[in-house]
């Protein structure tokens, strides 16, 4: 009996650990979520838009569809963007869906562009989420005074980490401000980045990455087909959604509950 209980308990915990293993999915972009544009005109320089663009900074509303045991299942999620080189979204028209592959590893996803050799991008993003993600879900959290600004600053901070691999947004490098940029968003993003210390490993969230195209950019010289050149050679925007990681105490509580339920079952079986 003890062996059966142990196997069942570990099987239950294993299911929790592997619940985020996904097959390929299809995504339709439904529109912007919460956030702000960067400002008028060419207010933010991005890798895919070296001449500047009024960039959307914030979440995106996605319709995610996949086949689960032969049944087509759809769900709506709000996601941040992972690819500063690409900002084209597939939505509307006769064929609004675009196929995406999935991953649960920030380290693997950014390994080809991370210059640090020690997973700076993945670790900094994990710390950013651990410290500030919840502030994008609720308003009026001092000093993050407005949820739209908070969400926009969070996205900008993430792009700075990914593209420039440092912790300060300024007028230089791949993600760069100019005289038109909404500096209230930039100041808040830099305040967030200043809290990234890198001295602790954070695993507060489980990440699901939806990937389409190639990360890291190509040479955006001549647009084709009326679409930005970076999107022509890369694909569509990559997204990330998260789920809070169960705390160790929660896992222990679950194990206790599972064990208690099984013991009740055993007692009932013996009493029959």
Per the structure block, which two tokens stand in for 74?
A: 């759809």
Which of the pair, 213 or 139, is modelled with greater confidence?
213
Per the structure block, which two tokens stand in for 135?
A: 């502030």
What is the average pLDDT across 102-112? 94
Q: pLDDT band for 71, please (50, 70, 90 cuts).
A: very high
Q: Which of 90, 106, 103, 96 is nearest to 23 (CA)?
A: 103
| DSSP per-residue letters across 145-178 | --HHHHHHHHHHHHHIIIII-SS--BSSSSSEE-
| CA pair distance 60, 167, nearest whole angstrom | 24
Residue 159, Cβ neighbours under 10 Å: how many? 25
What is the average pLDDT across 160-166? 96
How do beta strands 25-37 and 98-103 pair?
A: antiparallel
Q: pLDDT band for 106, please (50, 70, 90 cuts).
A: very high
For position 92, what pLDDT does the model report?
A: 84
Residue 190 lies in a domain: yes
Residue 123 lies in a domain: yes
Residue 247, Cβ neighbours under 10 Å: how many? 10
**pLDDT at 164 > cutoff 80:** yes
Per the structure block, which two tokens stand in for 42?
A: 């060419």
Residue 35 lies in a domain: yes
For position 168, what pLDDT does the model report?
A: 98
Residue 250 lies in a domain: no
| CA pair distance 58, 25, nearest whole angstrom | 23
Residue 254 lies in a domain: no
Structural domain boundaries enclosing 66? 24-244
| CA pair distance 116, 165, nearest whole angstrom | 8
Residue 261 lies in a domain: no
Strand pairing partners for 28? 63
Q: What is the pLDDT of residues 216-255, one digit of tens each?
A: 765 444 444 444 444 445 568 899 999 998 755 444 444 5
**pLDDT at 116 > cutoff 60:** yes
For position 235, what pLDDT does the model report?
A: 66
Average pLDDT, the chain: 80
Q: pLDDT band for 160, please (50, 70, 90 cuts).
A: very high
Q: Which residue has the tokens 């990234």?
A: 196
Residue 193 lies in a domain: yes
For position 40, what pLDDT does the model report?
A: 95
Q: Which of 120, 107, 136 is nearest to 34 (CA)?
A: 136
pTM score > 0.85 for this model? no
Residue 272 lies in a domain: no
For position 230, what pLDDT does the model report?
A: 43
> pLDDT > 90: what percent of the chain?
55
For position 90, what pLDDT does the model report?
A: 86
Number of domains in the chain: 1
């Amino acid at each position: 009996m003890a062996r059966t209980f142990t196997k069942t308990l570990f099987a239950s915990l294993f299911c929790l650990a592997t619940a985020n293993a996904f097959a390929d999915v299809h995504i339709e972009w439904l529109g912007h979520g919460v956030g702000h544009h960067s400002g008028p005109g060419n207010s933010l320089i991005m890798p895919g838009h070296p001449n500047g663009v009024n960039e959307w900074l914030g979440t995106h509303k996605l319709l995610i569809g996949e086949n689960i045991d032969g049944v087509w299942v759809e769900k709506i999620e709000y996601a941040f963007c992972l690819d500063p080189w690409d900002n084209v979204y597939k939505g509307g028209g006769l064929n609004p869906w675009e196929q995406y592959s999935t991953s649960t590893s920030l380290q693997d996803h950014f390994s080809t562009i991370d210059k640090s050799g020690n997973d700076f991008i993945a670790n900094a993003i994990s710390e950013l989420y651990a410290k500030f993600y919840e502030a994008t879900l609720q308003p009026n959290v001092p000093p993050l005074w407005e949820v739209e600004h908070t969400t926009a600053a969070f996205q900008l901070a993430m792009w700075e980490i990914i593209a420039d691999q440092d912790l300060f947004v300024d007028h230089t490098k791949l993600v760069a401000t100019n005289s038109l940029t909404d500096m209230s968003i930039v100041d808040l993003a830099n305040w967030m980045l200043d809290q990234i210390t890198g001295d602790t490993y954070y695993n507060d969230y489980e990440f699901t990455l939806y990937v389409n195209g190639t990360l890291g950019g190509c040479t955006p010289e001549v647009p084709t087909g009326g679409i930005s050149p970076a999107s022509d050679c890369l694909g569509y925007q990559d997204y990330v959604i998260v789920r809070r990681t169960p705390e160790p105490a929660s896992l222990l509580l679950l194990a206790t509950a599972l064990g208690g339920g099984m013991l009740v079952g055993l007692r009932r079986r013996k009493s029959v």
